[in-house]
Structure 1
Amino acid sequence: MTQYHNPIVLQRADPWVVKYKDTYYFTGSHPEYDRIILRKAERINDLQQAEEKTLWRKHESGPMSRYIWAPEIHRVGNAWYIYFAAAQEDFGSQDLPTHRMYVLENTDEDPMSSNWVEKGQIETPIDSFSLDATTAVIGGVQYLIWAQKDPAIEGNSNLYIARMKNPWTLDSEPVMLSKPEYDWECIDFKVNEGPAVLRHDGMIYLTYSASGTGVPYAVGMLTAREDADLLDPKSWAKSAQPVFKTCEANHQYGPGHNSFTVSEDDSQDLMIYHARNYTEIEGDPLFDPNRHARVGVVSWSGQGPDFGVPEPDNQWTPTTREVLPPDGSHQ
């Protein structure tokens, strides 16, 4: 059984890992929030030292010129797609930033190539703060699941699902699956965000993150049968308690915004997430770069997945807000 490094990649929050033809591809939020990056390696433990390539940079002005957040890479059909959120204004007196969801496409076999094309914004019926788009093809149908603000509902963001016409266009009305309602989802901010799909034995486990991005950040879960009507909220059951949260004993705080992949031999499901190893955060937690990407093994029982607790660090990590060089080197 592989013994994994933790962290697996330094200073890359919102980590997304996909395994394709025995190669792992890694992306995540760069601490400067100004670019989309990608790494590849044959082993998860090699991702930290893997060369990091910048695939796309923010525009100088306009809708994709600020705060490039939470890119995800997906293989859909015969092409690669990156879903990400971007804003056009700095944080100011407004209640929420101006993020909307966007898509890049690359029809090459190797996503590390430079042939990424902007496909534009994913339009939703309500033109409001939206982010963290993820996608899955289930039963031959592509779905988009994302976080968005509904002005009629208190809080920052709820989770929605819709069928897709193509990888950048919705083909049905959005359906709300979850909103912040439990106490643990409403600490500092009322947030449901960062959805990720895990499939096992005919079931769909949809994880998401809730509360502010500091210590309270935690992972919740919705469950549905694969053969159910996924656009019917009644098909989904929501866990009343977080399924993954801060572990003080292991000095891991605010774990969340995860993705899922599999082990090198395909025998285990893995949860990729970010967390900090300290609680003393100066200023807005969003601008502290030390949410490092980490990995944990998912266990299975008749009750579904068990994500355990965030594992302690067994690799060096920075202790300051300084952004490391791309290779993560330090003195």
Structure 2
Amino acid sequence: PMFMFIATDDTDGNCVDPNDGATHMPLRIADSIEALSDAAGGRAKEIDLLKCGDYNAEGRAMTGCFWAPELHVIDGKLSVLFMPCFDGPATNPDGTPNDRAGKPDMWTGSCHIMQLKQHSDGTDFDPCEPENWTVPKPILTPTGGVLNPIQRISLDMTVISDSGRWYYAWQQVGSIWIASFDPARPERLTCEPKQVVVPEFAWDNMIAEGPNAIVHDGTIYLIYSGSLVGIDYTTGLVTAPAGQDADLTDPNVWTKLDYPLQKSGVYNGQWQLGTGHGMWSNDEDGNLIYVFHNAEYENGRYGGRDAQVRRVHWSKEGMPILDMQAAEELNPDYADITMKIVVSGNEG
């Protein structure tokens, strides 16, 4: 199997321009999850799919951010959804001087898509070569407008597929929005965006972002991140019925959990702070895993985020458990038991 890992570089906590003009979108490819890690040399083998100054399909130079990239297969095509940002204009919408003029400005960012090219027989080009990917296109409304005309910025886009329908979910105006799209033309929505998740509790106040969904036992589990990046970051959940031809753009289809699935706390004897913006995936054996980030602090100073991978468990009530600790996974009394299995051949 081949495993891919893609993420935002936010060195020193700066995810707009973390390397002073050398912003990039790194991709790691390996034959195991372990081989993707820093310890196994994954960072040294990164490929930059995009770099500061590359142009989007509108001919605009992408100079910063490359926020929250996600890998998805859309109608058979490997795709990356992400948010680039551009140099800020001279003035703000209200006419005041823009302090990000001529510099990467996150408020210029919007959701984009790029896809891996395919040969005439439908096989993929080599994903390790940046030129084998299409030029990033901004994702627009059915009439060709920007997703967030109020602030322009839109980010954290993900894909949901159910009952033959395809949807995008993303964050804008501090909440989660959903719209349908045609996988044959993934850069254009087929309906106007609908707001389906808003922050309303103490643990998800200010913002709801970073959606990602799976289908499990007839239910769509959409996780999202609440509050702001830092020690207050949490993982929330909304659910909807799967396989019943429900319109996922209808807010009434979704049921929101009133407590977080994961938050800052002690995990396996060490503090784990600011857990959030996760993505469902699978390991080498097909087990469901949760890939997320937590905040890195040194002497009380925020220094960015580190990616983590964890096995997902399920409660008897059908709820995902994202933070089961080692002692809970296996009774320590049984930890040293070994087993020998002998398989005999068929005789006769």
Residue 53 (structure 2) aligns with: 59
Aligned-partner SS, 1:219:
strand
Instruction: Spell out the pairing of 1:1-331 with structure 2 (5 A cutoff).
Output: 22-31=1-10, 32=18, 34-48=23-37, 49-50=41-42, 51-59=45-53, 62=60, 64-89=62-87, 92=99, 97-108=107-118, 109=124, 110-114=126-130, 115-124=132-141, 125-127=147-149, 128-149=152-173, 157-165=174-182, 166-186=185-205, 190-226=206-242, 227=244, 228-248=246-266, 249-266=269-286, 268-276=287-295, 278=297, 280-282=299-301, 285=302, 288-289=303-304, 291-309=305-323
Q: Write the letter of the residue equivalent to 2:194.
A: V
CA contact (8 A) 2:175 2:197 kept: yes
Q: Write the letter of the residue equivalent to 1:229.
A: D
Deviation at 1:60, TM superposition (A): 6.7
Deviation at 1:92, TM superposition (A): 4.4
CA contact (8 A) 2:24 2:50 kept: yes
Deviation at 1:281, TM superposition (A): 4.6
Residue 10 (structure 1) aligns with: none
CA contact (8 A) 2:234 2:275 kept: yes
Aligned-partner SS, 1:172:
coil
Which has the higher Rg, Structure 1 or Structure 2? 2
Once residues 65 and 294 of structure 1 are traced to their aligned partners in structure 2, the CA distance between those partners, rounded to angstroms, is: 27
TM-score scaled by length of structure 2 = 0.73
Deviation at 1:80, TM superposition (A): 1.6
Deviations along 1:118-137, one digit per CA (max 9) or x if unpaired, are 24111245322210011132
Deviation at 1:66, TM superposition (A): 2.0
Deviation at 1:93, TM superposition (A): 8.1
RCO comparison, higher one (Cα < 8 Å, 6+): 1
**Identity %, equivalent residues:** 29
The number of residues matched between the two structures is: 275
Deviations along 1:6-50, one digit per CA (max 9) or x if unpaired, are xxxxxxxxxxxxxxxx21110000233711111112221111223
CA contact (8 A) 1:252 1:310 kept: no
TM-score scaled by length of structure 1 = 0.76
Q: Write the letter of the residue equivalent to 2:5.
A: F
Distance 1:93 1:30, change over 3 A: closer
Deviation at 1:53, TM superposition (A): 0.7
- Give 5+ residue unaligned stretches, structure 1: 1-21, 150-156, 313-331
Aligned-partner SS, 2:274:
strand
Once residues 280 and 260 of structure 1 are traced to their aligned partners in structure 2, the CA distance between those partners, rounded to angstroms, is: 32
Distance 1:92 1:222, change over 3 A: farther
Once residues 302 and 78 of structure 1 are traced to their aligned partners in structure 2, the CA distance between those partners, rounded to angstroms, is: 34
The structure that is strand-richer by fraction is 1
Aligned-partner SS, 2:70:
strand
Deviations along 1:139-173, one digit per CA (max 9) or x if unpaired, are 22211000001xxxxxxx11011100222210111
Deviation at 1:56, TM superposition (A): 1.1
Q: Write the letter of the residue equivalent to 1:193.
A: E
Aligned-partner SS, 1:117:
coil
Deviation at 1:279, TM superposition (A): 6.8
Deviation at 1:113, TM superposition (A): 2.9
Deviation at 1:305, TM superposition (A): 3.2
Deviation at 1:71, TM superposition (A): 0.8
Deviation at 1:111, TM superposition (A): 2.3
CA contact (8 A) 2:65 2:106 kept: no
Q: Which runs of 4+ in 1 moved over 6 A?
A: 93-96
Once residues 195 and 183 of structure 1 are traced to their aligned partners in structure 2, the CA distance between those partners, rounded to angstroms, is: 19
CA contact (8 A) 2:222 2:239 kept: yes
CA contact (8 A) 2:315 2:321 kept: no
Root-mean-square deviation (CA, aligned residues, Å) is: 2.5
